[in-house]
Structure 1
Amino acid sequence: MRPINELDAKRISKLKYILCDIDDTLTTHGKLTAEAYTALWRLQDAGFAVIPVTGRPAGWCDLIIREWPVKAVVGENGAFVFYAENGQIRSFVHPSVAGSEVRAKLAEVKDACLKGVPGCRVAKDQFSRIYDLAIDFNEDPPYLGLDAAQRIKDICVLFGAQAKISSIHVNAWFGEYDKLRMTRLFFSEVLKEPNLLEACMFFGDSPNDEPMFSFFPNSCAVANILQFAGKLEHLPAFVTTREGGEGFGEAVGFILGVGGE
């Protein structure tokens, strides 16, 4: 990982889209900071299209697309995209998402996780979800750490589910999608962007961002990625000196300073 200030002006000049995780990338200690939110508005005012790519639920994503300065939002680790078009909020659902018939299977996964990893619990935002299950290991106390998160993930996989570890939750679902696969499909089918690799820069912070880090040559993590670095096969190309929302603000300030607003 190279310092973000080594991102060169030629790369910056080709960027059109800023993709970003939310939790612990835009937020700091669970809060969306003024610096990070201002950075989103600065990006929009400078002509960039911002697209959060998150594990957060559909209910949150509906609010985000309506009230944040963003073009679209990828939610529930790639199950869907909400986007604005001609004044309308539209949805694009991944073709492999599982229907209501898997709710019983997700309930089995949930029960096995709660039994197998003492102290873990269903995430408080589960009521807003459509397609996946979120098990909280690090958002609310007791904080269980990454070893517990790995045990939760292993249980999910035993049931045949897809599972990803974020900085706060383990998300489980049935369907052949993730953050990267949905992002690529949305850009191909809806945005019709032919130069995805040059046009996009992705910001993240945790293991569930690894597919995005591995694909986008313009990828950056905020400094809190360092706690996960030994567990990742694919690191981002760049890293900030600051953590969370302050790190995101740091990177945006550099990009806009070099590229001009």
Structure 2
Amino acid sequence: MKPLAEWPREQRRELRGILTDIDDTLTTAGALTPPVLQALNALRESGLQVIAVTGRPTYWAMPLLRLCRFDAVIAENGASAFWIGEQGRMQSRFYADETSRRQHRMALEALVPVLRGRFPQLQVADDAPLRIGDLAFDIGENIPPLPEATVAGILACIREQGFHATASSIHAHAAPMPFCKQAASERLLRDVFGVGDETARLQYAFVGDSGNDARMFAHYPQAIGVANVRRHLPLLDAAPAYVTVSECGAGFVEVADAILASR
């Protein structure tokens, strides 16, 4: 990873948009601070698209879309997506129909006692009722962060039961299919905004911090990790090209300032 200061000015100037994780990238201790909200607004006012790509639940994404003035929000690592369409109406996309989602939910709920048999203290995430595609377990949101070896064991157990697994900085996710931030972002940019992947890789930056961001880091040449990404490097198959000095929301503000200074 190179320091953010080494990100070429001409590349920043040519950006069309920013894709960003939310937890521990935009947020600090779970909160969107005033400087982050100001940075998001300044990026939008400069003409850039701002798209959130998060592991957070579908029914968080809906209000965030308007409250934070995102151009789109991809939730649950790709299980759903929301954007503002014609006449200011919210549009949505889900990974499967309602009947299939209900069947998947029953199978995921049956996974809970299996995991607790191996990890008795493991708790379902508080936001689980707001999810439509995956089931999340708390590994660092309302508890001290679990050791890397424990998280790896949880993910392995999820996979042994036939589900797909990934982890963010706060949640371990179990899903009926391989939801992927990168694949979902590629589809959304192409189908909704008419931006092909080759163009997106040149004209969009990504900002993130943890394990479920690895494919985004690998795919986008202009990928930036906020400084707390260093804690997750052992779990990442690919590191971001650049890294900020500050952690969490302050790191995102660094990225926004660097982009805005070039325009």
TM tier relative to shorter chain: over 0.9
What does residue 251 of structure 1 align with?
255
Instruction: Please say if residues 95 and 133 of structure 2, whose CA atoms lie closer than 8 Å, have aligned partners that are also in contact.
Output: no
Aligned-residue identity in percent: 34
Q: CA deviation at 1:131?
A: 1.1
CA distance in 1, matches of 2:230, 2:148: 13
Cα distance in structure 1, aligned partners of 2:148 and 2:38: 31
2-side partners of 1:176 and 1:144: how far apart? 23
Which ranges in structure 2 are unaligned for 5 or more consecutive residues? none
SS of 2:110 mapped into structure 1? helix
Could you tell me which of 198, 203, 212 is aligned with 1:208?
A: 212
Amino acid at match of 1:23: D
Counterparts of 1:146 and 1:89, CA distance in 2: 39
Which residue of the partner structure matches residue 111 of structure 2? 109
State the 1:150 CA deviation. 1.4
Q: How far does the alpha carbon of each residue in 1:30-66 deviate from its partner, in whole angstroms, 9 at most, with x for none?
A: 2212221111111011111100100000111011112
Q: Which residue of 1 aligns with 2:94?
A: 93
Within 5 A, what are the aligned runs for 1:61-210? 61-86=61-86, 87-94=88-95, 98-194=100-196, 195-210=199-214
Contact 1:120-1:135 within 8 A present in 2 as well: yes
In structure 2, the partner of 1:234 is 238
What is the CA deviation profile of residues 97-124 of structure 1, one whole-angstrom value per residue up to 9, with x for unaligned ones?
Answer: 9522122220122222222113210000
Name the TM-score, length of structure 2 as normaliser.
Answer: 0.94
For 1:117 and 1:140, the matched residues in 2 are separated by 17
Counterpart secondary structure, 1:228 = helix
Structure 1 residue 75, shift from structure 2 partner:
0.2
TM-score normalised to the size of structure 1? 0.95
Cα distance change on mapping 1:176 and 1:120 into 2, 3 Å: closer
CA RMSD, aligned part only? Answer: 1.6
Gap change, CA 1:139 and 1:69, over 3 Å in 2: same
- Between 114-123 and 80-89, report the one with greater CA deviation: 114-123
CA, structure 1 residues 214+96, in 2 after alignment: closer, same or farther (shift >3 Å)?
farther
Match of 1:27, SS?
coil
Aligned residue for 1:48? 48
Instruction: Give 2:200's aligned amino acid.
Output: L
For the pair 1:36 / 2:36, whether they are aligned, the reply is: yes
In structure 1, stretches of 5+ residues that fail to align are none
- Determine the C-alpha separation between the residues in 2 that align with 1:168 and 1:103: 21
Deviations 1:162-213 (A, max 9, x none): 1111000001111243111111111122211031111210000001100100
- Give the Å deviation of 1:141: 2.1
Count residues with an aligned counterpart: 259
Q: 1:132 touches 1:172 (CA, 8 Å); kept in 2?
A: yes
Q: Are 1:223 and 2:227 counterparts?
A: yes
2:36 corresponds to which letter in structure 1? Answer: A
Distance 1:191 1:175 in 2: 25
